[in-house]
Structure 1
Amino acid sequence: MAWNEPGNQGKDPWGNRGGKDQGPPDLDEVFRKISSRFGGGNQFSGLGAGLVLLGLVLIWAFSGFYKIEEAERGVKLRFGQFHELVEPGLKWKPTFVDTVYPVNIQRVNRLTASGMMLTQDENVVRVEMEVQYRISDPRKYLYSVTSPDQSLSEAMDSALRYVIGHTTMDNILTVGRDKVRRDTWDELEGIIESYDMGLVVVDVAFKEARPPEEVKPAFDDAIAAQEDEERYVQEATAYSRQVEPQARGQAERMLQEADAYKRRVVLEAEGEVARFAQLLPQYEAAPDVTRERLYLETMEQVFSKTTKVMVDNDGGSMFYLPLDKIIQNQSGSAVQQPKMAEPTPSQTRPVRNDFDESRSSRTDRTRQGRN
């Protein structure tokens, strides 16, 4: 039977008899009873309250210690308003007064923007681009905009669509990829600068650009043709760079040879002039002797360069000595010497007499000139 049912005359849980007083006991009365058992009321209650208060103070003091990592900066709020930025290290703050939010400013975050976009020449292309960024100002990152990462993603998509809409499809797929990347980067920085989100763009990567699957084979052929054209241009450029220095060197060599030939001819002419200038006094002293000597020296130079010697014997017939055949036979056979037909006295005598006569007449004229 429950303690509060009719007919129950026992005690209730709070010490009431007969069930007439069914309310809970007074807490003050309970504390007085406990303190009376320990030998005093007011003294014990004051000591207990002090211990409790001291414990709460210690818990509050120890709860204020916190640590900011090396790559982080802390944003401290005091009563909900920005107070200061906290540098890395072990710090302390008054709990329930200050609140600190750590923000990593060295980590590089990544966001991707992609989708089917319309180009300037009214073609559809699928483009995917990735932006890498980090936090430069923790305060602005937390409180300038509601969601800075989402705002950056939307700004990236807007900048990419703007650049793709002002670029032809051929440039997007081939040679204009780097320009699209740089233009997107510049456009994105211009957008986030007005938002003042405390973010800085580290890099923008052009990951993928491809046409729709229905026309992809045709675009692959066009890209292959453009790559072949670029390769041919590079090969032609390399060939021109190889041939042009050789041609320049050959032209320079020809110029140097021509200059050397000119100098040689000029020097030889000057030497001939000097030689004739030296012969003039001798010619004036003995003209006949000088003419004879010049004639003999000239004939000596002429005959020294030929392999055939013509001999006139004043008899109406002329013969020659085949010196080239003789020299060839001598060099071709080292063991067997070629036999030469000795000239007849009638053939050799006129040559010897003419030489003797010319020598004797030259000697006489030389003596006359000296006298």
Structure 2
Amino acid sequence: MAWNEPGNKGKDPWGNKNGNDKGPPDLDEVFRNISKRFGGRKGSGSGPGVSSFGLVIVLGIALVVWGLSGFYTVKEAERGVALRFGEYIGEVDPGLQWKATFIDDVYPVNVSTVRSIPASGSMLTADENVVLVELDVQYRVVDAYRFLFSAVDANASLREATDSALRYVVGHNKMDDILTTGRDQIRRDTWEEVERIIEPYKLGINIVDVNFLPARPPEEVKDAFDDAISAQEDEQRFIREAEAYARAIEPKARGQVQRMEQQANAYKQREVLESKGKVAKFNLLLPEYKAAPGVTRERLYLDAMQEVLSGTSKVLVDAKSSGNMMYLPLDKLMQKSQSNTKPRTMSSNSSMSSSNEIVGQNSLPLDSRPSRSDRTRQGRN
């Protein structure tokens, strides 16, 4: 129920006992009533003192309200930039703080969050091709005052610097490098170029990372560039396969080389030792030959014939003194000779008997062969 409704008689706090609506109360009258309560006992001559006292109370209340309104809180991830009548007076740390209202101003700035600014567009490369490039720059505020007041808008300034640096770097690289192998180098070059551009402006920021997103050619030639990229990837794959094959073959080749060297050294040593053995045998045989030349010569002849005829099958037949027809199973003799072939180090008698098959009634055995003088005489006849 309102104070001035008809049913609310005598309850109007503004003194409207009749309940008539006469508009808002007069402020002077309100202050006068308050003054009467606190200082009305002094009489009619104390009017100015009462008014001053009321004014002091009002000012005190206003001062309390002004003091309480100056409390504020700076978050843990923020730093406050304090200004007094527009002049920078310092940086405010996190926590509960107080400022003079209408005198000091504090602007909180988040210095812990990593912020990002994207940059993209169609750009011309060094080989006069158009490529679509996207870039994302991540940064953190390190100086809150410079971030707010060194430029009109630090974010806009960084965005323009990033776009300029990206176009400069892309314009000095070929399209194949941008799309394939040179992406990391372009990212580092763009990072350095952005820092070089923003350094004179002192924006109070620190670039944390630069992400160079996958670039792509225009849609009209995208299929052709996809084929080119696939060819380059195949080239790299073939190179890696060839390197793996080379690493697998090289140890085998080195092993074969070492084995061949060892075989050659072994052959060399064997030949040297055999030559030395022959020389030693000749040195031992020479005194015997000087003592009995005929016997030694006959022995040498037999050894030589044994060495020559030991690997073949021979049949000696006296056809002049025999008129009988003989059957010679040459195939059986050859098989028997091959199966009974023995090393060359066998004695002269055993080797000669095994390598010579005597067939026929009038055949001459090898051990009954006529002497050299008889052979000479027969040859003359």
Calculate the TM-score normalised by the size of structure 2. 0.63
Report the equivalent of 1:346. Answer: 362
**Partner SS state of residue 257, structure 1:** helix
Which residue among 318, 328, 336 is the counterpart of 1:326? Answer: 336
Residue 282 of structure 1 deviates from its aligned partner by 4.4
Indicate the SS of the match to 2:173: coil
Counterparts in 2 of 1:79-94, with a 5 A limit?
A: 79=84, 80-85=86-91, 90=95, 92-94=97-99
Selected match of 1:186 from 192, 197, 201: 192
Q: Which amino acid aligns with 1:221?
A: A
1:327 Cα deviation after fit: 7.1
Deviation at 1:230, TM superposition (A): 4.9
Deviation of 1:228 after TM superposition, in Å, equals: 2.1
Is residue 110 from structure 1 mapped to residue 113 from structure 2 by the alignment?
Answer: no
Contact 2:313 2:334 in 1 (8 A): no
Q: CA separation of 1:83/1:50 partners in 2, compared to 1, >3 Å: closer, same or farther?
A: closer
> 8 Å contact 1:116–1:125 — kept in the other structure?
yes
Contact kept? 1:132, 1:201, Cα under 8 Å: yes
**For residues 78 and 98 of structure 1, what CA distance do their matches in structure 2 show?**
6
2:271 maps to which residue? Answer: 265
CA distance in 2, matches of 1:99, 1:282: 130
Q: Deviations over 1:84-133 (max 9, x none)?
A: 5556x645445547665444444322221112223334443332222222
SS in 2 for 1:133: strand
Cα offset, 1:289, TM superposition: 4.7
Change over 3 Å in CA distance of 1:323–1:313 after alignment to 2: closer
- Asked whether the 8 Å contact 2:82–2:89 carries over to 1, the reply is yes
- Equivalence map 1:215-294=2 (5 Å): 215-216=220-221, 219-225=222-228, 227-228=230-231, 230-232=233-235, 234-235=237-238, 238-239=241-242, 241-243=244-246, 245=250, 246-247=252-253, 249-294=255-300
Distance 1:302 1:54 in 2: 138
> Secondary structure of 1:205's match?
strand
Percent of residue pairs bearing the same amino acid type: 38
Distance 2:302 2:339 in 1: 30
- What does 1:1-371 correspond to in 2, within 5 Å? 25-26=28-29, 29-35=32-38, 59=68, 63=71, 66-69=73-76, 72-77=77-82, 79=84, 80-85=86-91, 90=95, 92-96=97-101, 101-213=107-219, 215-216=220-221, 219-225=222-228, 227-228=230-231, 230-232=233-235, 234-235=237-238, 238-239=241-242, 241-243=244-246, 245=250, 246-247=252-253, 249-304=255-310, 306=311, 308-312=312-316, 324-326=334-336, 343-347=359-363, 350-354=365-369
What amino acid maps onto 1:309 in structure 2? S
1:262 and 1:105 map into 2 onto residues whose CA distance is: 83
Counterparts of 1:25 and 1:91 in 2: how far apart (Å)? 40
| Residues 148 and 230 (structure 1), Cα distance of their counterparts in 2 relative to 1, 3 Å cut | same
Q: Match for 2:279: what amino acid?
A: V
d(CA) in 2 for partners of 1:137, 1:264: 87
Partner Cα separation in structure 2 for residue 298 and residue 38 of structure 1: 167
Change (3 A) 1:205 1:34: same
Aligned counterpart, 2:377? none
SS at match of 2:213: strand
Change (3 A) 1:227 1:98: same
- Tell me, yes or no, if the aligned pair for 1:314 and 1:350 is still in contact at 8 Å: no
Cα deviations across residues 125-173 of structure 1 (Å, max 9, x unaligned)?
3322222222233343233222111111101111112222233444434
Q: Which residue of 1 aligns with 2:375?
A: none
Give the Cα separation in 2 of the matches to 1:290 and 1:24. Answer: 163
Residues 276/109 of structure 1: CA separation in 2 closer, same or farther (3 Å cut): farther
Amino acid at match of 2:314: M
Deviates more, 1:90-99 or 1:25-34: 90-99
Q: CA deviation at 1:181?
A: 2.9
Paired amino acid for 1:351: L
1: CA distance, partners of 2:304 / 2:106: 115
Measured in 1, the distance between the counterparts of 2:62 and 2:131 equals 70
Which deviates further from its counterpart, 145-154 or 75-84? 75-84
Number of equivalent positions? 317
Conservation of the 8 A alpha-carbon contact between 1:313 and 1:350: no
SS in 2 for 1:114: strand
Deviation at 1:315, TM superposition (A): 6.5
Alignment deviations for residues 267-311 of structure 1 (CA, whole Å, 9 cap, x no partner): 33334334434444444445455555555455555555x2x2325
Q: Distance in 1 between matches of 2:368 and 2:152?
A: 130
Partners of 2:112 and 2:140 within 8 A in 1: yes
Give distance in 2, aligned partners of 1:327 and 1:301. 15
The verdict on how the C-alpha distance between 1:112 and 1:247 changes in structure 2, with shifts beyond 3 A counting, is: same
